[in-house]
Amino acid sequence: MNRTRTFVVPYVLSLIVVITLLVVWVVFAIQWEGRLHEFAVRLGVTSPRSPWVILGVGCVLFALLIVFGTHQLARSLAEYRYARKQEEFVSGITHEMRSPLAAIRLHAETLEQDETDEYRRRSVDYILREAQRLGRLIDNVLESSRLVARKQEFEPYEVEVAPFCRRFFDEIRPTVEGGKLTFVTEIETGSSILASEEALRRVLTNLIENAVRYSAPQGRVWCRVSERGPRVVFRITDEGIGIPKSELGLIFDRFYRIGRDTEADHGSGLGLFIVSQLVEQMRGSVRALSRDTSPGTTFEVEVPVMEKVV
């Protein structure tokens, strides 16, 4: 409903302005008929009806503006309704997929507990891994749909950055080092931000998991937290293959998959979109930097420092 209002209200205001101008034009043409006739004579038009011709042309132009605006509004509303139906369809399908997925995981975990031969155990492990992967995809689709519809907005509160980061880095370290990578962390801030720990954890987890995914074994992943003026900066750097500069401005679009993702069948094109939406709710910004001189990518998230009330 709110999104529909964003289309209708500007149109109604524009329509009022155009109609007002049309009325002003008609009144002006009637009151200044003599001057319009003189103006027509200067243009070489000597017909006694020339002022009314000018009035008619002006009215036609205003009418065309109204018709054009109405057409554009109808087209925009139709596109919006179609996109809304797609959102509802995707959301409904992903909800329906959760039940059979939960059943698959439950039975696979039951089989895993039984004494089975090595081949069956490997098969069960594979089923569980793929079920978890599908579960993450479903969660991402649902979360992105809620963010687009503005149905998911966290309640901000004061988050002390340093204590939070120490806890979070300890939690995610096994994930990074499990990929045979070195995890380097630095915390150089004592400030707080207005955010949600859950949202901040989601942002950092997505960025660090991306860094792990595209890093070669024995590489390093850095996560540095510092301050830059009135902002806290979270900087995640990897030694992976990097991102083409031509795609740096597109990677935060919904469903956008970098060329390397499409070829290797990695990613859903939702992770970085979710990151950008959550950071926007924190009134912050996120950007990606890819270096020319060495491989790797750096993601920077900047969030305003919370002002202390004296």
Predicted local confidence at residue 302, as pLDDT: 95
Q: What does R_g of the chain's alpha carbons equal in angstroms?
A: 29
Predicted local confidence at residue 286, as pLDDT: 93
Query: How far is it, in rounded angstroms, from Cα 257 to Cα 97?
Result: 23
In the chain, what are the domain boundaries? 1-152, 157-304
Predicted local confidence at residue 21, as pLDDT: 73
pLDDT digits (tens, 9 = 90+) for 251-310: 888 777 776 544 454 556 778 888 998 999 899 999 998 876 667 889 999 999 987 654
Which of the residues in the chain have pLDDT under 50?
Answer: 1, 261-263, 265, 310
Sign of the torsion angle spanned by Cα atoms 47, 52, 55, 56: negative
Say which CATH topology domain 157-304 has: Heat Shock Protein 90 (3.30.565)
Q: Is the pTM of this model over 0.85?
A: no
Predicted local confidence at residue 53, as pLDDT: 63
Predicted local confidence at residue 262, as pLDDT: 44
Predicted local confidence at residue 200, as pLDDT: 93
Predicted local confidence at residue 241, as pLDDT: 80
Predicted local confidence at residue 106, as pLDDT: 76
User: Over the range 238-267, which residues count as b (16 or more CB within 10 Å of their CB) and which as e?
Assistant: bbbebbeeeeeeebbeeeebbebbeeeeeb
